[in-house]
Amino acid sequence: MYISRHFILTLLLAIILFPIYKYKVFLLFVFGLFIDVDHYLHDFFKYKASLKKSYLMHMDKNITLKDQLHIFHTIEFWFLALVLFLIFYSEIILIIFIGLIFHLILDFIHQIFNKKY
């Protein structure tokens, strides 16, 4: 999903949850948005791409990037996040976890509606 859509939808969720969690929703926004830093890390280590070049590569519909490892989108990362959430449960950890889960849900929705056969 495009970063602009993640930004807008995560901001909307943060606004909706603001009356309940107050300024802690900033953490939801940060973790829900910047989990995609792994896209840049992959491009940096594999292609030595700058942030701008990485962004342009992902926005170019004619480029198909294969064999990508986005460490924050793997099942191992999510399992670790769930275990840490359950062990160190607090309101702040809950808010961070909501941001991460929301991001992943948006990615799944994007994949469902943009699947190429």
For 27-68, write each residue's pLDDT tens digit. Answer: 999 998 888 888 888 878 888 888 888 777 777 666 666 667
pLDDT at site 23: 94
Q: What is the pLDDT of residue 80?
A: 92
pTM for the full predicted model: 0.80
pLDDT tier for residue 73 given thresholds of 50, 70 and 90? confident
pLDDT at 4: 85
Label residue 69 exposed, middle or buried (CB < 10 Å: 0-12, 13-18, 19+): exposed
Helices (H), the chain: 3-21, 25-34, 37-47, 51-59, 75-87, 91-113
pLDDT at residue 107 above 60? Answer: yes
Please state, for a pLDDT cut of 70, what percent of the chain lies above it: 89
Euclidean distance between CA atoms 51 and 41, whole angstroms:
9
The burial of 98, by beta-carbon neighbours within 10 Å (0-12 exposed, 13-18 middle, 19 or more buried), is given as buried
Q: Is the pLDDT of residue 113 over 60?
A: yes
CB of 14 closer than 8 Å to CB of 98: no
pLDDT at 117 exceeding the cut of 50:
no
Sign of CA dihedral 29, 99, 21, 83: negative
Q: How many CB atoms lie within 10 A of CB 72?
A: 18
